[in-house]
Amino acid sequence: MTADRRLTLHVNGITHSCEVEPRMTLADCLREKLDLTGTHLGCEHGVCGACTVIVDGAAVRSCLMFAVQARDSMITTVEGLAASDTLSDLQQAFHDHFALQCGFCTPGFLTTAEAFLSENPSPTRGEVQSAISGNICRCTGYVPIIDAIVDTAKRRLESGK
Amino acid sequence: MKPPKFDYFAPDSVERALALIAEHGDHARFLAGGQSLVPMMNFRVATPSALIDLNGIADLRGIRIDDEHRLHIGAMTRTREIEMDAQIARANPLLHAAVPNIAHMQIRNRGTIGGSLAHADPAAELPAIVLVCGAAIQIVGPGGRRSVGAMDFFEGIFETALRDGEIISEIVFPTWPAARSWAFDEISRREGDFAMVGIAAWFDLDASGKISASGLAAIGAGDTPLRLSSGEQILIGRSPGADVFARAAEAAATDLQPASDIHASAEYRREVGEVLVQRCLQTAWERSS
Amino acid sequence: MTIPTPYIGTSIKRLEDRRLLTGAGRYIDDVKLPDMAVMAIYRSPYAHARINGIDLAAAKAIPGVIDAFCAADIETDLPAIPLRLAPFDGFERFLQRPIARDKVRYVGEPVAVVIAPDRYTAEDALDLIEVDFEPMTAVTTVDQAAAGETLVHEDAGENMGTSYRVGRGDADRAFTEAPYTRRERFTTNRHSAVPMETRGLIAEFDPDRPLLRLHGATKVNFFNRRHLAAAFGLPEDAVELIETDVGGGFGARGELYPEDYLVPIASRRVQRPVKWIEDRRENLTATNHSRDIVCDLEVASTEDGRILAMRATVQGDMGAYIRTNGGVVASKAAQFLPGPYRVPSFSCEVQFLITNKTPVGTFRGPGRFEANFCRERMLDMVAADLKIDPAELRFRNLMEPAELPYRIGELVPGDVNATFDRGNYSSAFKRLLDQVGYADWKDRQGEIVNRRAYGLGIACFIESSAAGPPETARIIVSADGSIEIRTGASSVGQGTETGLAQICADYLETDINLIAVLHGSTTLVPTGGGTFHSRNTVMAGNAVRMAAETLRSQCIELAALRWNTDSAGLAYQNGAVHRRDDPGTKLSIAELAIFAESRDGEELASDAAFDNEGKLSYSYGAHAALVAIDVATGVIEVEKYVLTEEIGRALNPAMVQGQAVGGLVQGLGGTLLDHMVYDDDGQLLTGSFADYLLPTSTELPDITAIALEQSPSEFNPMGFKGAGEGGIVAVAAAVGNAVVHALKDHNVQINDLPITPDRLRAALRAAGA
């Protein structure tokens, strides 16, 4: 039973089928089996947040979940945040606020923020800071990331989205 | 940092989970939220031969309040569900206040209350809340069902009263008096880190305004979460006030058994533990008056 | 020639962002080649041990494992990893070979390599490697190293990598005569760059062709190519270093490390591409550490606080080997000790000590962060002793514009011409004081509000940029009008593509969206300098400017040929050449590219190299931190932070702001959190992100970062100075001073980093608080 098993995963609205060992983490499965390399591995012990994906609406560390545990779940990765050729409003806000430099942590911040805003559409700045406190960025000093998320929430409220 | 091989099972009932653990023996482990176990596996510090995944067992999840206003939380209820649950804010505000201190949102989205208690990290918040509230831990295993009081549950660093093949099914918190005064505070290096030291406190007043019952517990100050009974005793029968709180804190500090690590010395934990006891009692009192 | 510059000086949105925001970035672990295997490294679990035997049989026997090897299995003797910077005499005795042979000298040193189809299998194999280690006493402090009872490298006969004395004036005499002196010991904590993307490489090694292609390279690719070619006996043009998207550098990434040799060896052995991705546990022991300085500093001054001299001993804990960065950290700490102040006499002994820890290299602001902390803390102590306001003390000692440029003397051996360029240090400092409201704060130091003690700390800094070899750029115009910039400089995530495109767009007077920037790879341009010392905007930026200027002339010449006219009658404007007498008649650069193509397939392209001939630009400025300390718990909150930094000219103000804020927050980490802690056996106790603490989003002050453009660099026509490190260099100093002011009633001093609640409480306890 350590052997590979067939697995069906629902990622970004597409149903994928792959063979995985039970021990393969969801992060590795997304990256290696489905070639969704936007999900990054920064620490593989659940601290840095780079591998965050949205599983059934909740932001989770994909390095701390085995792919076999996600078989019935709806998964969203950074590749699924926007319709084909456009940036989502959140991605656009990151761009506008210079909220990324090297970009390695960025997918994890985007997925975390997206899941958080769906839960709390009108957060305070402090709530945003807490929500992303499990994501490490070494480049930006966080300030523009917080600005981008706060700005997105404000725009969404104004536009009634 | 990839985990070693293991067999994987995802039972949909407690009975099936118990049968699987019996079948797969000593090196099989239950998998709850996985937020402590999986990192240890990725570091290859934990090398279970099989994982019995409890995430698919619906019976182990849920929050309810019974007719006697006791709060029941299924072992596989996620920490984030506890945080977001409006009824818990009333049914046990101390628990509700402590939960946001647990790691970060992503961890709380997966981590479970039962997993945290079974893991029994002495710096974790939930064990101390369960302890200070005098909750009962419902256990199911090969010998059937049993209930263990929180005072008897935590036996050492990462050691509990759970025996081979047993799982926690539910945690039952006693009725929370509406007038109870309470507070939680912890000091960590960064928000979301394990506490260097943390304190949970509550007290009730009798009709004359004297403290009739109290609870004080500490995290990060011993091999298990600690009940600080020396401090509790000082409070009983006395009127709340800064002097009493200071004396209680001084007494409570004698119950702390801290060790040193790279984040804080034992001396720091003892000293700041005392400070936090005093502050928690003061905060509790101010909030309710 | 007046060039309109709508892009330079404007906060143009970054060209890099779209791919990075959508998950389409291509970092090294995202690169997959056909038939690619992966490798994993068995690393020493001991800090100091003899290797009596290595048994790889069980590891090789795991199904799927392709190969495993250790030093004994490598046919050719590998050269030592070379020194790139600060290569002082004596260091040659302490260079690292890519894989341990007889002895290991730090936890994390490579001992054996496994090659497998995937990382899971490779790690299974690592578990089965048997090494017979004979543990030895570990050397874990500079004092222990200096005592020399245990030798890390027996052949060297000592643990002193090298030592030297530098200075100017007559410090000893000044100390003898000075009315006031003070001596203090300061330590800065070992910590590191820790970029979010760990290192990683893919090698494709075909010895028959011959070709060694190494993906995942960055920073100093041309230097690295030269040494890798030599190591493997290849001509330089048979070695290609390919740069992908890079997840942060901060000094540590892109130097030659053991893995830069081991991955090619693995590929050569199995004759297929081999990938190695450093995991985080490896990263914390395998990638260079930094800082880790002990500094005994003395200052002599007049009674009114005018500095007469400084004397110091700087000891750098170098770890087990001297790697590519040589003596940069300690030597720069010594060089920058006097800082922007008038210090007539200075004398400094610098010692580089070898210990059983991870080797040390550069981390953003190497030596500057350390020197700044020691000096600025000391100045506050002097101010307190002499009862002079700390800001006033600094004004009395900051060099004035009339004293600049100032030759600082040979404060690093061989660096005889180092000269602070023009500037106005007092002005940048005054701007800081005004911004932070210093006049209001100076009488409120130590004020208690809600049981927290408040203190405001200030510190001045000076910081060099743009050292090193020339930088190259090539601009190519295509028939469709698209423009490609190729440069030997690397991008480590700081926005290099955007910045260079801004310069190019202005100098070619075109739409920036036509421009693509390719960087770093050795296949792009014949040579290049690389990316370090905040040099990209200065060096690559000016190379792009020069290439664009050349291209304008080429366009005019081409148009003259096309129109069969004299080029003197033509002008270049708005991406096209027109006749001066008939501005309506134009040839766009796209049309000129087509014309060039029609002439024997010529490319419309220009090359340039910018050389500043070693004339460095110095950024300078000041930091202020407002802290609130919970006296009973020792918890420190930095509430507010202001910094000013003179950078000559801002290419992209938003990106400059990003460098300042990002650097500052890294600095807060280095001041309050980041710490590589070793036990007496040389075991790293902070080997995970649960224990090695980096700043997160909940520990931020209210930040104001002000870039000043009052004093353009005279050493490049665009006036740029480096802006990458001014945000970090004075953080420990400002925060340390703020903490001391907050706790002034308890006379707590901060001489050691990091400043933690535990350490603060220990100091307060000792003071009876």
> What is the secondary structure of B9-56 as a DSSP string?
E--SSHHHHHHHHHHH-TTEEEESS-TTHHHHHHTTS---SEEEE-TT
Q: Is the pLDDT of residue A65 over 90?
A: yes
Residues 6 or more apart whose Cβ sits within 8 Å of residue A119: B84
Q: What is the mean pLDDT of residues B148-163?
A: 97
What's the count of helices (H) and strands (E) in chain B, helices before strands?
12, 14
Residue of B nearest to C689 (CA): B193
Of residues B14, B61, B232, the one with CA closest to residue B134 = B232
Which residues in chain B are contacts of C758 at CB distance < 8 A? 196, 263-265, 268
Residues in chain A: 161
Backbone angles phi, psi at C626, to 5 degrees: -110, 120
Q: Which two tokens stand for residue C397?
A: 């000692």
A77-135 per-position pLDDT tens digit: 999 999 878 999 999 999 999 999 999 999 999 999 999 999 999 999 999 999 999 99
Q: How confident is the model at residue C378 (pLDDT cuts 50, 70, 90)?
A: very high
DSSP state of C12: P
- Contact (Cβ atoms closer than 8 angstroms) between residue C379 and residue C393: yes
CA C361 to the chain's CA centroid: 9
The answer to whether C756 contacts chain B (CB < 8 Å) is yes
Is residue C17 within 8 Å of residue A106, measured between CB atoms? no
Under 8 Å CB-to-CB from C176, ≥6 apart: which residues?
Answer: none
* Separation in Å, CA of A159 to nearest CA in chain B: 26
- Percentage of chain C exceeding pLDDT 70: 100
Show which of residues 710-739 on chain C sit within 8 Å of chain A, judged by CB atoms: none
Quote the CA–CA distance of A113 and A59 in Å, as a whole number: 8
Task: Tell me the Ramachandran region of residue B158: left when phi exceeds 0, alpha when psi lies from -120 to 50, beta otherwise.
Answer: left
Query: Given a cut of 70, is residue C28 above it in pLDDT?
Result: yes
- Coil vs helix vs strand at B73: strand
Q: Check CB contact of C281 with chain B, cutoff 8 Å.
A: yes
Write out chain A residues lying below 8 Å of C17, CB-based. Answer: 94-95, 100, 103
Within an 8 Å CB–CB cutoff, is residue A38 touching chain C? yes
Report CA torsion sign: A98, A102, A105, A107: positive
pLDDT of C236 higher than 80? yes
Res A161: pLDDT: 65
Does the structural domain C290-467+614-766 have CATH classification 3.40.630.10? no
Q: Which residues pair with A27 in a beta bridge?
A: none
On whether any CB of chain C is under 8 Å from the CB of A125, the answer is no
Bridge partners, residue C317, by sequence: C353
Q: In degrees rounded to 5, what are phi and psi of residue B223?
A: -75, -20
Peptide bond preceding C754: is omega within 30 degrees of 0, i.e. cis?
yes
Q: Considering only CA atoms, which of B106, A101, A128 is closest in space to residue C666?
A: A101
Helix axes C390-397, C368-386, angle to 10 degrees: 110
Instruction: Give per-residue burial for C388-409: e unless 16+ CB within 10 Å, then b.
Output: bebbebbbbbbbeeeebebebb
- A neighbours by CB contacts (3+ pairs under 8 Å): B, C
Nearest CB partner across the interface for B44, out of C127, C673, C758: C127
**Tens-place pLDDT, residues C448-471:** 999 999 999 999 999 999 999 999
Residue A133: closest C-alpha in chain C: C697
Kindly give the pairing relationship between strand C582-588 and strand C576-579. Answer: antiparallel
**Mean pLDDT computed over every residue of chain C:** 97
Distances (CA, A) of C630 to C66, C627, C760, C769: 58, 10, 10, 12
Point out the least confidently predicted range of A64-78, C75-89, C326-340.
Answer: C75-89
pLDDT interval class at C596 (50, 70, 90):
very high
Residue of A17, A14, A16 lying closest to A4 (CA atoms): A17
Residues in chain C closer than 8 A to A145 (CB atoms): 697
**CA nearest neighbour of C294 among C172, C145, C75:** C145
Q: Which residues of chain A from 70 to 99 reach within 8 Å of chain B, CB to CB?
A: none
Return the closest-CA partner of residue B125 out of B138, B136, B111, B139: B111
The yes-or-no verdict on residue C412 having pLDDT over 60 is yes
User: Residue B260: how many CB atoms within 10 A of its CB?
Assistant: 12
Contact C658 A37 (CB under 8 A): no
| pLDDT (mean) for C266-283 | 98
Round to whole Å and give the CA distance between C736 and C733: 5
Taking the C-alpha atoms of residue C200 and residue C206, their distance in angstroms, rounded to an integer, is 20
Residues of C in contact with B250 (CB under 8 A): none
Sign of torsion over alpha carbons B158, B162, B166, B172: negative
Amino acid identity for residue C392 in this structure: E
Region B99-114: what's the mean pLDDT? 98
C247 touches chain A (CB under 8 A): yes
- In angstroms, how far apart are the furthest CA atoms of chain A? 52
B contacts of C119 (beta carbons < 8 Å) = 2
Contact C23 A50 (CB under 8 A): no
Q: Which CATH number fits domain A5-80: 3.40.47.10, 3.40.50.300, 3.10.20.30, 3.40.50.620?
A: 3.10.20.30
- The pLDDT of residue C1 is 60
**Which of C718, C768, C761, C716 minimizes the C-alpha distance to C746?**
C768
Minimal Cα–Cα distance from A138 to chain C, Å? 6
Summarised one tens digit per residue, pLDDT across range C485-533 is 999 999 999 999 999 999 999 999 999 999 999 999 999 999 999 999 9
- Closest partner residue to B262 among C119, C685, C696, by Cβ? C685
Chain C contact probe: residue of A61, A76, A77, A102 with most C CBs at under 10 A: A102
C 639-678 residues with CB below 8 A of A?
654-655, 657-658, 661-666
B25 touches chain A (CB under 8 A): no
Share of chain C above pLDDT 90, in %: 98
C550-575: buried (b, 16+ CB within 10 Å) or exposed (e) per residue? bbbebbbebbbebeeeebeebbbeeb
Whether omega before C210 lies within 30 degrees of 0, making that bond cis, reads yes
**What does the alpha-carbon distance between residue C669 and residue C189 come to, in Å, rounded to a whole number?**
11
Q: Which domains does chain B have, with CATH numbers?
A: 7-53 (3.30.43.10), 58-173 (3.30.465.10), 181-288 (3.30.390.50)
**What is the phi-psi region of residue C199: left when phi exceeds 0, alpha when psi lies from -120 to 50, beta otherwise?**
beta
Which candidate from A1, A22, A64 shows the least CB-CB separation from B110? A64
Q: Which two tokens stand for residue C613?
A: 């001939």
Per-residue model confidence (pLDDT) at position C2: 72
Residue C633, chain B, CB below 8 Å: the answer is yes
Considering the domain A89-159 in this protein, what is its CATH number?
A: 1.10.150.120
Please state the rounded mean pLDDT for residues C607-621.
95
Q: Tell me, what's the ipTM?
A: 0.98
- Chain B residue with the nearest C-alpha to that of A41: B1
B25 pLDDT more than 90:
no
DSSP A31: I
Give the residues across from C360 on adjacent strands. C289, C322
Q: Judge whether residue A1 has pLDDT over 60.
A: no
Rounded to a whole number, what is the distance in Å from the CA of C119 to chain B's nearest CA? Answer: 7
Note the pLDDT tens digit of each residue in B33-63. 999 999 999 999 999 999 999 999 999 999 9
When mean pLDDT is compared across A3-7, B2-6, B65-69, C689-693, the lowest value belongs to A3-7
Contacts of C632 in chain B (CB under 8 A): 272, 275
CA gyration radius, chain B: 19
- In single-letter form, the type of residue at position B43 comes to F
Correct CATH for C31-136+193-286 of 3.90.1170.50, 3.40.50.2000, 3.40.50.300, 3.40.190.10? 3.90.1170.50
**What's phi and psi for B12, nearest 5 deg?**
-110, 5
Whether A138 and C29 lie within 8 Å, measured CB to CB: no
| Residue whose entry in the numeric block shows the structure tokens 């650097």 | C663
> What residues have CB less than 8 Å from C158, skipping those under 6 apart?
C148, C151
* Cα–Cα dist C130/C141, whole Å: 30
Under an 8 A CB cutoff, do B192 and A134 touch?
A: yes
Q: Does C690 touch chain A (CB under 8 A)?
A: yes
Pairing status of strand C180-191 against strand C290-301: antiparallel
**C120 lies within 8 A of chain B by CB:** yes
Q: Using an 8 Å Cβ cutoff, are C30 and A37 in contact? A: yes
- Facing B264 at nearest CB: one of C281, C686, C758: C758
Do A64 and B39 lie within an 8 Å CB cutoff?
yes
Domains C17-24+468-610 and C31-136+193-286 share a fold: no
Buried b vs exposed e over C124-146: b needs ≥16 C-beta within 10 Å? bbbebbebebeebebbbbbebbb
Q: What is the pLDDT of residue B288?
A: 85
Fold entry, domain C17-24+468-610:
Aldehyde Oxidoreductase; domain 4 (3.30.365)
CB contact under 8 A, B107 and A134: yes
d(CA B218, CA B124): 10
Neighbours, chain C (3 or more CB pairs < 8 A): A, B
Over residues B185-195, mean pLDDT? 97
Top residue of A43, A51, A69 to mutate, by most chain B CBs within 10 Å, is A69
Task: Please report, for chain A, the start and end positions of each structural domain, with discontinuous segments joined by +.
Answer: 5-80, 89-159
Task: Give the domain ranges of chain C.
Answer: 17-24+468-610, 31-136+193-286, 290-467+614-766
Map residue B247 onto helix, strand or coil.
Answer: helix
Nearest to B35 among A1, A46, A112 (CB): A46
Does C757 contact B at CB distance below 8 Å? yes
Q: How far is the alpha carbon of C327 from chain B, nearest alpha carbon, in Å?
A: 29
- Report the pLDDT value the prediction gives residue B271, as an integer from 0 to 100: 98
Counting every residue, how long is chain B? Answer: 289
Q: Give the angle A19-A22-A24 at the CA atoms, nearest 5°.
A: 80
Query: Residue B23: which residues within 8 A CB-CB, separation 6 or more?
Result: none
Of A25, A66, A133, nearest to B192 by CB-CB distance is: A133
A65 in contact with chain B, both atoms CB, cutoff 8 A: yes
Whole-number Å distance between alpha carbons of C738 and C744: 10
Q: Note whether B275 contacts C633, CB cutoff 8 Å.
A: yes
**Gap between the Cα atoms of C682 and C189, Å rounded:** 16
